[in-house]
Amino acid sequence: MIQYKQLITTIVISFFITLILGPIVIPILQRLKVGQSIRDEGPKTHMLKSGTPTMGGLIMITAICVTTLTSGMLNRDLYVILFATISFGLIGFIDDFIKVVLKRNLGLKAYQKLIGQIIVAIIIAVYQSSISISSTKIFIPFMNQYLDFGILYIPFIATVVVATANSVNLTDGLDGLAAGVTLIVSSFFSLIAMNWGYPSIAVFCGALTGACLGFLRFNAHPAKVFMGDTGSMALGGAIATIAILMNLTLLIPIVGGIYFVEALSVILQVASYKITGKRIFRMSPLHHHYELKGWKETKVVVVFWSVTLLLCIVGLFSLN
Domain containing residue 156: 4-250
pLDDT in tens, 70-125: 998 899 999 999 999 999 999 999 999 998 888 777 778 999 999 999 999 999 99
169 is in an annotated binding site: yes
Q: Would you state the pLDDT for residue 51?
A: 79
Q: Would you state the pLDDT for residue 3?
A: 79
Write the DSSP string, the chain.
---HHHHHHHHHHHHHHHHHHHHHHHHHHHHTT-BPP--TTS-GGGGGGTT-B--THHHHHHHHHHHHHTSS---HHHHHHHHHHHHHHHHHHHHHIIIIIS--TT-S-HHHHHHHHHHHHHHHHHHHHHH-TTTTEEEETTTTEEEE-GGGHHHHHHHHHHHHHHHHHHHTTSTTHHHHHHHHHHHHHHHHHHHTT-HHHHHHHHHHHHHHHHHHHHHSSSPS---HHHHHHHHHHHHHHHHHHTT-GGGHHHHTHHHHHHHHHHHHHHHHHHHHS--SSSSSSHHHHHHHTT--HHHHHHHHHHHHHHHHHHHHHHT-
Average pLDDT, integer, range 259-264: 98
| pLDDT band, residue 285 (cuts 50/70/90) | very high
Asked if the structure places residue 164 within a domain, the reply is: yes
Report pTM: 0.94
**Number of domains into which the chain is organized:** 1
| pLDDT band, residue 193 (cuts 50/70/90) | very high
Give 141 or 6, the one with higher predicted confidence: 141
Give 39 or 226, the one with higher predicted confidence: 226
pLDDT in tens, 195-210: 999 999 999 999 999 9
